[in-house]
Copies of this chain bind each other. A is one copy, B any other.
């Protein structure tokens, strides 16, 4: 049963306890019952586990790490996910290595391969479209992997999702509750799963409310400039035929609309038209007013993903069952929908 360089994870598996417990036995023995401590010490002795950082081989050094591949570090959602994952792995004394795919599928695959070669304990991945090959290679090497924000059939992994239908629902309901009757949903690329799900949520909120009606406006894209174009188009309509509340499927669209309405003196935000974004992305290009937005809860997603991964790393062989955790979004109200004067 002796291995050359058993890791803390090996000890945890052998003793049938969590990594956190092994770490406690070593670092904070007062926190562990004597029976459990005894069990862990027996595993340490049996496996020949040496806790000596200098003496540890590279392999054990990196087994005590988790790799995380982020789709785009420029987008604060992924930064939030990294923070949440850090919180999750810090709790058990593991370390989180980040790779930024920066929206490049080849680079994403490079990082997956690197983490695989480096024998990290497991991988967290917020995949880009068409990431199946890299995911399957990783799985075929038996390395635990949890996916974030990737709702695809036939993926044999634990997954953390945000409820995007709820995102759209919360955004539209907020407009209706603040008295708006003519709701506009501005979006593009409905083939993206999050865009489509948000649309469904907006439709549901408007249907439930009864008195409001919905106009769906297709921008073609998802960027600030697409929002500017929508504002220009709205400027050509008589005021009574414009929406009085807009859900924009991205924050960039939302800010583009606000900027366009403001610069061309088309309408006041939020007086004439109030606007909600669907991301609460700190890195979105900003508009003239602070944006009310539905928050995708990246920190909670990252933490949930780390916890699922540790669970899988820690499960006895054959006993792990994949599951999906769905995080509920929340609404953050700011000036773009707050018609009353803002308090400090």
Contacts and interface: CB of A to CB of B under 8 A. Distances in A.
A165 interface: no
Interface residues of A, number: 45
Given A82-B73, A83-B73, A228 B344 contact: yes
Contacts of A314: none
A76 B79 CA distance: 10
A62 B110 contact: no
Contacts of A342: 263
Interface in A274-320: 282-283, 286, 288-290
Given A61-B118, A76-B283, A82-B73, A97 B95 contact: no
A63 B228 CA distance: 47
Nearest to A343: B263
Contact of A74 (B65, B79, B102): B79
A139 interface: no
Interface of A: 53, 56, 58-59, 61-62, 65, 73-74, 76, 79, 82-83, 86, 90, 95-100, 102, 107, 110-111, 113-114, 117-119, 228, 259-260, 263-264, 282-283, 286, 288-290, 335, 342-344
Indicate the member of A61, A263, A342 with the most B CB atoms within 10 Å: A61
A176 B96 CA distance: 47
Given A111-B95, A117-B56, A288-B290, A86 B102 contact: yes
A296 to B, nearest CB: 16
